Amino acid sequence: SQQGEEDPQALSIQEGENATMNCSYKTSINNLQWYRQNSGRGLVHLILIRSNEREKHSGRLRVTLDTSKKSSSLLITASRAADTASYFCATDRTSYGKLTFGQGTILTVHP
């Protein structure tokens, strides 16, 4: 079963706009990660935020984590057509490789 719920399920924007995706989870976590998946391919790690962190930046990505609300958001600024992909949040309650993924947000960036 999926721990994470992602919102929205699909997002369509124009190049240059910002994209915000949200993730909610149900149980306490050690960390939360975001991954990107281009159609039918493997997942690419984007960013990891630990449970004691509130915000993290990496290039055009900004991730926030609110453990009191059990939610996280991923902001992609100045989107590009190449950002078109599915984005997944994943939570980690153990240290043994098991990530629990959300259902993902399909992002389409129109040139």
Nearer to another protein, 10 or 78 (CB): 10
Min CB(61)–another protein separation in Å: 14
Which residues are CB-contacts of 33 (< 8 A; sequence separation ≥ 6)?
A: 45, 46, 47, 48, 49, 89, 90, 91, 92, 99
| C-alpha–C-alpha distance, residues 30 and 34, integer Å | 14
Q: How far does CA 98 lie from the centroid of its chain?
A: 17
Min CB(110)–another protein separation in Å: 24
Contact residues: another protein, CB under 8 A: 2, 30-31, 33, 35, 40-45, 48, 88, 90, 92, 94-104
Nearer to another protein, 97 or 111 (CB): 97
Min CB(103)–another protein separation in Å: 5
* Measured CA angle at 55 (ends 104, 57), to 5 deg: 80
| C-alpha R_g of the chain | 13
Min CB(11)–another protein separation in Å: 17
Nearer to another protein, 12 or 30 (CB): 30
